[in-house]
């Protein structure tokens, strides 16, 4: 193992320069080498912070810093002096602030931190705080960089990251114990692993073309992803992002606790159904799993589990076993009412029938799975392909935010609005930076600046003249925006230069996506 350099610690400016170099190349090998060079310079004390920042995330899940907190900042410093250890300590301090007066203290702490940052470092900090630098491909590049910096197989780093739940945890093992430490990592009941993710296809036929027949087809339920660990008398429940929410899902916990198995790791969804069998809307389901402060007095639903995969039973780890084997064992181990609806399709028709049925009943769609695929934790693997309806609307761009990382210098994050049916006022429904190609970024930056009416440090506000076709997965109730709803998973398909804002879709049109009781 190559020994890391020691000294006073990695500077934030060093990471800024690395981020700029990463943004200037699309070569995976070049990205790996840039990251490896930084990690070779990183000490044991800094490695978790540096790996986290290179992956685009703060180590702290929550800091309490919102957009409003960053609206007024001091002038940037002329010279770089900040070290990543100092940034991490400041974020840790702000994350711990609570109670009366904490907002003011946090604002002061933000000002002190940003006042020591150069203009480029301020941009990098914003991107880290709001998660705008995160992307799955980048984390994979960080894992490759770790392997290159310490001369170990990249597969060993990836598997350890999967089983430990994070690349930062794998980095800690690697830098302190080398390859032997990575190879000792196994699935441990009670420690959440990164979940397997699904690729996408526009319809069932195309998904089956990629998977082949026979295929396992699961109903895709519109709940929250859960990973449940049971060992001895203890049950722990984790979200897709590996946050623990055991105390917020008592029905899930009790149902799993009653199962006649001492050790279990299960993957599934938690949701609530209405009397007619349709799902409660996602926003209410998500709120029911939120913290008490996030719930804001709303009534909690009783969320129950529906499982679609089994990773461990007893002392046997099934991660590397084919899905068809995992499915058979899970079906024997769990009562049917705890299982996601599933069919084995020998031909296209049964898969289409399940898709049509679940969509008509108000669920998301289906996930079509390769029966021979292992559990590819932490990856968006072609062994699973999701299919769900896509809704498209023509919405008006009313503002855009400056991008970060490789999008620095371009207007990226779009503010999307629909017309009010009665007043023609434009009502904001959400933001997105998804789906934008480099050509679109270049075009919209030039065009938007021609339409600028005013700006803040981060946002350029526009004359409402540009219409874009936006795809969304659905709509949810939200108090964040004046229309009372927000877009779910919005992404840009194209600009509609043939349409004027007067021809954009109306708020009432979008609200038809809501269940009748919520309109």
Domains 12-183 and 391-518 agree in fold: no
What Rg value do the Cα atoms of the chain yield, rounded? 24
Q: What is the 3-state secondary structure (H, E, C) of 415-478?
A: EEEEECCCCCCEEEEEEECCCCCHHHHHHHHHHHHHCEEEECCCEEEEEEEEEEEEEECEEEEC
Q: Give the pLDDT confidence of 395-454 residue by residue, as tens digits.
A: 999 999 998 777 888 999 999 999 887 777 899 999 999 989 888 899 999 999 999 988
Mean per-residue pLDDT over the chain, rounded: 88
Q: What is the pLDDT of residue 380?
A: 66
Nearest to residue 226, comparing CAs of 183, 156, 288? 288
Cis peptide before 494 (omega within 30 of 0): no
Which of 31, 220, 230, 388 is the catalytic position? Answer: 220
Higher-confidence residue: 70 or 371? 371
Q: What is the pLDDT of residue 251?
A: 95
Q: What is the pLDDT of residue 24?
A: 82
Cβ partners under 8 Å of residue 383, min gap 6: 196, 211, 323, 369, 370, 373, 374, 376
CA atoms within 13 A on the CB side of 4: 30
Is residue 434 annotated as part of the catalytic site, yes or no? no
CA–CA dist 325, 363 (Å, integer): 26
Q: Give the pLDDT confidence of 262-316 residue by residue, as tens digits.
A: 999 999 999 999 888 888 877 677 777 766 444 444 467 889 999 999 999 999 9
**Does the structure show a pLDDT above 50 at 166?**
yes
Domain ranges of the chain: 12-183, 197-387, 391-518
**Does the structure show a pLDDT above 90 at 228?**
yes
Cβ partners under 8 Å of residue 143, min gap 6: 154, 157, 158, 161, 167, 170
Considering the domain delimited by 12-183, tell me its CATH architecture: Orthogonal Bundle (1.10)
* Domain over 197-387 is classified CATH 3.30.470.30: yes
Higher-confidence residue: 288 or 165? 165
Q: What is the pLDDT of residue 2?
A: 42
Average pLDDT on 471-489 reads: 86
Percent of the chain with pLDDT over 70: 93
Residue with tokens 């392997």: 147
CA–CA dist 111, 118 (Å, integer): 13
CA 407 to chain centre: 19
CA–CA dist 452, 464 (Å, integer): 10
Residue with tokens 């089983």: 163
Cβ partners under 8 Å of residue 59, min gap 6: 48, 49, 52, 88, 91, 92, 168
Nearest to residue 439, comparing CAs of 503, 495, 372? 495
Q: Give the pLDDT confidence of 377-386 residue by residue, as tens digits.
A: 666 668 999 9
- Residue 349, classified by CB atoms within 10 Å of its CB into exposed (0-12), middle (13-18) or buried (19+), is exposed
| pTM for the structure as a whole | 0.74
CA–CA dist 311, 264 (Å, integer): 8
Q: What is the pLDDT of residue 4?
A: 42
Longest dimension (CA), the chain: 68
- Buried-exposed string 389-402: b where 16+ CB fall within 10 A, e elsewhere: eebebbbbbbbbbb
Of 24-38, 123-137, 427-441, 481-495, which gets the smallest average pLDDT? 123-137
Q: What is the pLDDT of residue 165?
A: 86
**Does the structure show a pLDDT above 70 at 518?**
no
CA–CA dist 226, 262 (Å, integer): 19
Average pLDDT on 157-182 reads: 92
Instruction: Give Cα separations from 457 to 76, 98, 153, 179, 442 (angstroms).
Output: 12, 27, 44, 46, 20
Residues in a beta bridge with 461:
399, 454
Token pair of 165, please? 């739940």
Q: What is the CATH number of domain 391-518?
A: 2.40.50.140
């Amino acid at each position: 193992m190559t020994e890391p350099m020691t000294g006073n610690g990695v500077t934030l400016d060093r990471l800024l320069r690395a981020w700029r170099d990463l943004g200037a190349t699309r070569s995976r090998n070049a990205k790996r080498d840039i990251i490896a060079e930084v990690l070779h310079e990183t000490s044991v004390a800094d490695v978790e912070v540096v790996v986290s920042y290179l992956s685009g995330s703060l180590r702290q899940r929550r800091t309490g810093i919102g957009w409003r907190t960053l609206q007024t900042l001091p002038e940037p410093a002329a010279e770089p002096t900040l070290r990543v250890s100092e940034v991490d300590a400041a974020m840790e301090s702000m994350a711990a602030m609570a109670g009366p007066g904490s907002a003011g203290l946090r604002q002061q702490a933000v000002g002190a931190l940003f006042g020591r940052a150069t203009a480029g470092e301020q941009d990098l900090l914003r991107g880290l705080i709001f998660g705008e630098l995160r992307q799955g491909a980048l984390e994979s590049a960080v894992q490759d960089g770790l392997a290159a910096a310490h001369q170990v197989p990249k597969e060993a780093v990836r598997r350890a990251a999967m089983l430990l739940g994070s690349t930062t945890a794998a980095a800690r093992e690697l830098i302190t114990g080398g390859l032997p430490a990575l190879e000792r990592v196994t699935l441990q009941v009670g420690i959440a692993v990164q979940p397997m993710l699904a690729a996408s296809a526009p319809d069932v036929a195309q998904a089956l073309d990629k998977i082949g027949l026979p295929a396992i087809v699961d109903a895709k339920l519109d709940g929250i992803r859960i990973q449940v660990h049971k060992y001895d008398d203890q049950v722990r429940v984790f979200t897709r992002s590996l946050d623990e929410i055991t105390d917020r899902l008592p029905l899930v916990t009790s149902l799993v606790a009653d199962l006649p198995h001492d050790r279990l790791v299960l993957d599934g969804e938690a949701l609530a159904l209405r009397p007619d069998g349709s799902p409660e809307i996602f926003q209410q389901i998500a709120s029911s799993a939120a913290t008490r402060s996030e719930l804001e007095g709303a009534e909690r639903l009783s969320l129950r589990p529906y499982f679609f995969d089994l990773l461990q039973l007893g002392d046997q780890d099934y991660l590397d076993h084919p899905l068809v084997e995992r499915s058979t064992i899970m079906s024997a181990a769990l009562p049917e009412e705890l299982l996601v609806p599933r069919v084995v399709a020998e031909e296209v028709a049964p898969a289409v029938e399940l898709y049509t049925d679940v969509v008509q009943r108000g669920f998301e769609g289906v996930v079509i799975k390769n029966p021979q695929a292992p559990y590819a934790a932490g990856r968006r693997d072609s062994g699973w392909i999701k299919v769900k309806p896509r809704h498209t609307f023509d919405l008006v761009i009313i503002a855009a935010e400056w991008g970060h990382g490789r999008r620095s210098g371009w207007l990226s994050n779009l503010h999307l609005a629909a017309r009010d049916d009665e007043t023609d006022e434009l009502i904001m429904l959400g933001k997105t930076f998804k789906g934008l190609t480099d050509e679109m970024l270049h075009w919209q930056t030039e065009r938007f600046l021609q339409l600028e009416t005013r700006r803040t440090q981060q946002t350029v506000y526009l004359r409402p003249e540009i219409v874009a076709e936006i795809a969304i997965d659905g709509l949810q109730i939200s108090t964040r925006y004046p229309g009372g709803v927000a877009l779910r998973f919005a992404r840009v398909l194209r600009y509609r230069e043939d349409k004027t804002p007067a021809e954009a879709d109306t708020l009432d049109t979008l609200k038809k996506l809501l269940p009748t009781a919520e309109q």
